[in-house]
Chain A
Amino acid sequence: MKNVNRIGPMVVMAAATLYFLVPIWWLLVAASKSRAQFNNTTPLWFADFSLGDNLSELFAYRDGVFLRWMLNSVLYTGGAALIGTVLAAMCGYALAKYRFPGREAIFNIVLSGVLVPATALALPLFLIFSQFEATNTFWSVFLPSLVNPFGVYLARIYATASVPDELLEASRLDGSGEVRTFFTISAKLMFPALVTIFLFHFVAVWNNFLLPLIMLGNERLFPVTLGLYSWNTQVNQIPELRMFVLTGALVSIVPLVIAFLFLQRFWRNGLGSGAIK
């Protein structure tokens, strides 16, 4: 009976794992094939390995515009996630630790912001930026990406739970200013939550496709998602682009994988150390 109990979940998990990994496997295999072999070899197994050729062709195409897109994506998402996390942490911390009139009202408004999908805001943002003739600029994508109401929510919950009021009082008595206390003591206590917020924010900005689609017309400013999508819409006319789209899609998930592998270590450490205390 005990074994049966274990087998059931294992089967479900194995099926789910397979379900999630097969597309990535397919992508890896497809990106390693030459154009000629892509169509007439088994889709889920390797033919002659020409990933290297595909990569160098992709990186050389149109003066390396693809690398530029990757760099843009890292700047948009990395930069926005970093600054956005700091802002969300400060906001959530303030809402958790300071008493001031309208605190709950502000928090509720932030919470309702969680419910507004980013896609619904893209067009209004475009019209606002148009008023200031600031569309088609780096900032038109970067500034709106800094906002992360869900991060504020998480930061508040976590600050309430993990930053003891006594500690704050102690540091105040020792003469530390509020800002210094936040960065040297509270932020460190909140670190696991900050990593979570950072990751969520990173993925959200990386996947926010509509905003750059609407804002940007200059190819040199595109994030990689928009660039690959543009190429993909032209596959009918320029079939050569298909291999670039495939190889590019594979390369474009690398930063996400790295971010997760690298950061989940901090995540687990933090949660673990919190548990022992």
Chain B
Amino acid sequence: MRPPMRSLSILLTSALAVTLAACSSGSDDSTDEATGGAASCAPASGNVELTYTTWIPGIEDVVKLWNDKNPNIQVKVQTGPNGNGGTYANFFNQLKAGNAPDLGHIEYDALPSFRVQDGLTNLASCSEVTAAKDQFVDWTWGQVTFGEENSVYGIPQDTGPMALFYRKDLFEKNNIPVPTTWEEYAAAAEKVKTAGGYITNFSQSDISQFAGLSWQAGGRWFSNDGSKWTVNFQDDNTKKVADYWQDLISKKLVSSVPPWTTEWDNAYNKGNAWTWVSAVWGANSIMSGAPDTSGKWAVAPMPQWTAGGTSAGNWGGSSTAVFKSSKHPYEAAKFALWLNTSEEALTALNKAAQLYPATKAGATLPALTEGVEFYGGQKIYEVFATASTQVAADFAWGPTMTDTYASASDGFKAVVSGTGTLNDALKTAQEKTVATLKSQSIPVAE
């Protein structure tokens, strides 16, 4: 049922495409010969060209460092919107069409969905990859191996260890001690309310923050025993976190403007919100969203559930994965390792896009050990470096996170406007997630 005009254009297209294909097939043949042993992660004999899709702004400059030094392995950058903004959907389309890039940027919470669709190359057979394990912060390795033996589905790139950003000036002025436990945090919230502010803004639509808070508390949402997925957003620890925030919301001790809006920036810029439990990259969000508050902020470790505890959550972070269709896993893995472990690449990534490295050594980059003027000269990244070592390694994401986030976010928005509770919302999100998994024929344990 196509209109004739369209058929015409397809004809034209085909004619053109045939010519293009003819042009490119010459080079393809030579690379095909070179990759007989792709599955075993062997190096190619000739020159290799890799494609790498990522949305990191300024990545071209970083990749250029590699290309200048590695004439035999040239990397071509492709870009687009962020993962959930369209690039993940593109990856799936490309995997279907057989023209996925060699390497792709995939956030930790999206890795399982690519794994489930069998879109990733297991890099465990690349000895250089397995040897690099100890360079990475332990929990990041858990994110890319899914806790399984003999499997590595991506190279950790950046992380978002969480801490407490707080308005040092306002806390001091009002004689409120900086909370070290969640109990103290709730007590501080009452005092802040009396002083005319809100202790923080509860993120109603960005569920990944709540995930980070649950992660810290010991909540475990997904697990996979090798054949079936278990979905549980109602374990005791997650319930505890949800009840805690429900209480703050009900007592109107937190504001609830939508995150990542100018309204939200304003709440911080005008001093209506006094703290933010956020990831390391949040430092930059405050700097840019609340420019009038320069010098008034400080960073403390995340409040703990038990006094003297040492656990932190994580919010965000991504990996560099090699797609199944790549003909050059060896070279791709080599590039991904360089990109995410070498000091020059990590420095450049941090400079271009404020990425916080996933390697242990990355925490000591010069840019991450200096005092930051906006935070009164505090060496804030030291707090995050410690937090990064306190993130539990066994938190796993599910294979349909976009969907899970969307259903949880619907519920959270309702809670903020006064309907239901966070735990109700999580219950519903769990039911919907299980239904989605079943509809995609992914086995679920009841």
Contacts and interface: CB of A to CB of B under 8 A. Distances in A.
Interface of A: 35-36, 38-40, 43, 62, 87-88, 91, 106, 109-110, 112-113, 116, 121, 123, 126-137, 139, 143-144, 146-149, 152, 213-214, 216-219, 226, 229-242
A131 B17 contact: yes
B13 A129 contact: yes
Q: Which 10 A-B pairs rank lowest in CB-CB distance, beginning with the nearest?
A: A132-B17, A217-B78, A113-B3, A239-B288, A130-B97, A233-B85, A233-B82, A134-B17, A233-B81, A230-B81
Contacts of B20: 132-134, 137
Contacts of B78: 136, 217-219
Interface in B320-376: 353-354
Given A127-B96, A130-B97, 6 more contacts: A40-B269, A147-B3, A217-B80, A226-B80, A233-B55, A234-B82
Interface stretch (B4-12, B63-71, B121-129, B227-235): B4-12
B262 A38 contact: yes
A144 B55 contact: no
Interface in B261-290: 262, 265-266, 269-270, 281, 284-285, 287-290
B291 interface: yes
Contacts of B6: 113, 121, 147, 149
A146 B14 CA distance: 15
B13 A132 contact: yes
Contacts of A213: 80-81, 86, 90
B52 to A, nearest CB: 10
Nearest to A239: B288
B99 interface: yes
Nearest to B260: A236
A113 B6 CA distance: 9
28 contacts: A36-B291, A38-B262, A39-B266, A39-B289, A39-B292, A40-B270, A91-B4, A91-B5, A121-B6, A130-B94, A130-B98, A139-B13, A139-B16, A146-B5, A147-B3, A148-B5, A149-B6, A214-B90, A217-B78, A217-B90, A219-B79, A229-B85, A230-B82, A231-B57, A233-B85, A237-B82, A237-B284, A240-B288
B280 to A, nearest CB: 11
Given A149-B5, A234-B57, A143 B16 contact: yes
B24 interface: yes
A141 B263 CA distance: 37
B13 A230 contact: no
A241 B284 CA distance: 12
B interface SS class: helix
A256 B55 CA distance: 28
B159 interface: no
Contacts of B131: none
Contacts of B93: 123, 126-127, 214
Interface in B396-440: none
Nearest to B3: A113
Interface in B287-319: 287-292
Contact of A133 (B5, B13, B21, B265): B21
B388 interface: no
B353 A238 contact: yes
Given A133-B99, A239-B284, A144 B9 contact: yes
A91 B18 CA distance: 26
Interface in B9-41: 9-10, 12-14, 16-18, 20-21, 24
Nearest to A139: B16
